[in-house]
Amino acid sequence: MDHFSSRHDGLYAEDVPLRRIADAVGTPLYIYSAATLRRHYDILADEFKNRDALIAFAVKALSNIAVLALLGRRGAGADIVSGGELYRALKAGIPAERVVFSGVAKSRGEMEAALNAGILQFNVESEAELAHLSAVASALGKTAPVALRVNPDVDAGTDTRISTGRKDDKFGVPFADAGRLYRLAAALPGLRPQGLTVHIGSQITSVAPFERAAARVGGLVTSLRAEGHEVTHLDLGGGLGIPYERAAAAPPLPVDYAATLNRATADLNVRLILEPGRLIAGNAGLFVTRIVLTKNQEGTHYALVDGAMNDLIRPALYGARHEVMEDTPPTGVPVHHHIAGPVCESTDLFAKDVPLHEVSAGALLAFRTAGAYGAVQASQYNTRPLVPEVLVDGDRFTVIRRRPTYEEMLSLEVIPDDF
Ligand SMILES: *Cc1c(COP(=O)(O)O)cnc(C)c1O
């Protein structure tokens, strides 16, 4: 459920006409709905209100500091994967004690920054990383709170490009090594093991894999405690899928997902951490572009738009499909068009055979479900300016990242003096 709608006079984001924003900011651009972000966070938070639980938003899904601040003020923490994301989360006012640091290859500098900030937890993914973190923390005279990321060897049944919990994926330590490595973490200087973490993939469309992973890691909590270890935190990662197309099978409802996790961990007496990204941000964003011109290529109609794969790469990268909405209220018989951008790559193709009613130059098109893994993956390929982001809240909108000028885009580049 989102707060974007089609009304008699065009598309709206909450109470603001899309056309008004597009005219003011220019296209292409991303538009986020504050009400949708709040709603998605609140639905999940509500399901865990009787638990000691932290919802640490996966910053990599949508990292604009306005969005992080909005979620942080409601109590969200941050799941970060880089020093840059740590910087963002702290800038957005999310307290360090609500930050968990994931990722397979954290650098020394990133570890130091996170130790100095005093984050809640390092999610450690290998024996080598335990040794590295131990050395870095010891040198600073600090103790790093550690959760061991275990690979539960659960196939999430999702696209292989976004699956992370099978035993040959690069993530986590093998389930069979978890006990030994937890003992090692307890023995190494500068480390304090406090829990376990799993994250089995993204865009997962059934609760069964989550249930299996939670059961496996829950069993590990019990056996580690039996060995005398303290296990106070259990981080179940993110990964719940969302509906991208009306026709596709609906993923589980957040309440059903939450009930499953609650049930699987009810008796464990742990502080629960969740790391949702897509679930919170996905449906809260639109990617908006304008038709530049149309072209009939040997019988294939193309609507060529001003947005491109550098702005929204999901269709090119994962074959993702985003439902298209027309700003103009549909009248007459639609004509099927391929929608493509101006970038010099054949993969710069957003969608095929989309029925469009209005294909005149300047008409607006909105791609739904573009809030997660959209703007964050944008680049300046073809020296196209980084796509702007707008946050709508009721009848107001704010440009939360403006379009850079060409001068700004080149400001980091230098021509050597003598050649
Ligand atoms: C990407 C990622 C997430 C968020 O995944 P979603 O599918 O967006 O919920 C959470 N935790 C980790 C470790 C991740 O890598």
What are 284-336's pLDDT values in tens digits?
999 999 999 999 989 999 999 999 999 999 999 999 999 999 998 878 899 99
Does residue 244 have a known ligand-binding role? no
- Decide if 171 contacts 219 (C-beta within 8 A): no
- Per-residue model confidence (pLDDT) at position 168: 76
One DSSP character per residue, 239-284 reads -B----STTSPPPPPHHHHHHHHHHHHTTS--EEEE--SHHHHGGG
Ligand 1 atom showing the smallest separation from residue 278 Cα: 8
Which of 199, 205, 280, 377 has most ligand 1 atoms within 8 Å of its beta carbon, as the pocket-test mutant? 199
Which of 63, 79, 104, 236 has most ligand 1 atoms within 8 Å of its beta carbon, as the pocket-test mutant? 79
- Residues in the ligand 1 pocket, defined by CB under 6 Å: 58, 60-61, 79, 102, 199, 202, 237-239, 275-279, 372
CA of 81 from ligand 1 middle (Å) equals 10
Structure token digits, residue 63: 């990292």
The torsion angle over the Cα atoms of residues 267, 269, 273 and 278, rounded to 10 degrees, is 10
The 3-state DSSP class for residue 393 equals strand
CA of 355 from ligand 1 middle (Å) equals 33
Does residue 318 have a known ligand-binding role? yes
- Per-residue model confidence (pLDDT) at position 169: 73
Q: Which residues on neighbouring strands pair with residue 29, listed in sequence order?
A: 288
- Per-residue model confidence (pLDDT) at position 160: 73
Query: Is the pTM here over 0.75, yes or no?
Result: yes
Dist CA 368 CA 38 (whole Å): 18
Pairing of strands 271-274, 233-235: parallel
Ligand 1 atom showing the smallest separation from residue 201 Cα: 7
Residue whose structure tokens are 């840059």: 84
DSSP 1: -
Structure token digits, residue 71: 């979620």
Does residue 12 have a known ligand-binding role? no
Q: Which amino acid is at 72?
A: G
> CA-CA distances (angstroms) from residue 194 to 267, 270, 295, 314, 331?
17, 10, 60, 36, 60
Does residue 302 have a known ligand-binding role? no
Ligand 1 atom showing the smallest separation from residue 238 Cα: 9
Structure token digits, residue 103: 């990722």
- Per-residue model confidence (pLDDT) at position 265: 95
- Per-residue model confidence (pLDDT) at position 331: 84
Which of 60, 62, 71 has most ligand 1 atoms within 8 Å of its beta carbon, as the pocket-test mutant? 60
- Give me the domains of the chain, ranges plus CATH numbers: 4-31+283-410 (2.40.37.10), 103-274 (3.20.20.10)
Structure token digits, residue 130: 């335990």
CA of 276 from ligand 1 middle (Å) equals 6
Does residue 275 have a known ligand-binding role? yes
Ligand 1 atom showing the smallest separation from residue 61 Cα: 8
CA of 330 from ligand 1 middle (Å) equals 37
CA of 274 from ligand 1 middle (Å) equals 9
Q: How many helices (H) and strands (E) does the chain have?
A: 12, 21
Residue-wise pLDDT tens for the chain (419 aa)? 789 999 999 999 999 999 999 999 999 999 999 999 999 999 999 999 999 999 999 999 999 999 999 999 999 999 999 999 999 999 999 999 999 999 999 999 999 999 999 999 999 999 999 999 999 999 999 999 999 999 998 887 777 777 777 677 778 899 899 999 999 999 999 999 999 999 999 999 999 999 999 999 999 999 999 999 999 999 999 999 999 987 677 899 999 999 999 999 999 999 999 999 999 999 999 999 999 999 998 999 999 999 999 999 999 999 999 999 999 887 889 999 999 999 988 899 999 999 999 899 999 999 999 999 999 999 999 999 999 999 999 999 999 999 999 999 999 999 999 87
- Decide if 102 contacts 131 (C-beta within 8 A): no
Does residue 276 have a known ligand-binding role? yes
CA of 237 from ligand 1 middle (Å) equals 6
Which of the residues are catalytic?
Answer: 344
Ligand 1 atom showing the smallest separation from residue 276 Cα: 9
Write the residue with the smallest CA distance to atom 3 of ligand 1. Answer: 238
- Per-residue model confidence (pLDDT) at position 109: 98
| Short-list 251, 255, 198, CA closest to 221 | 198
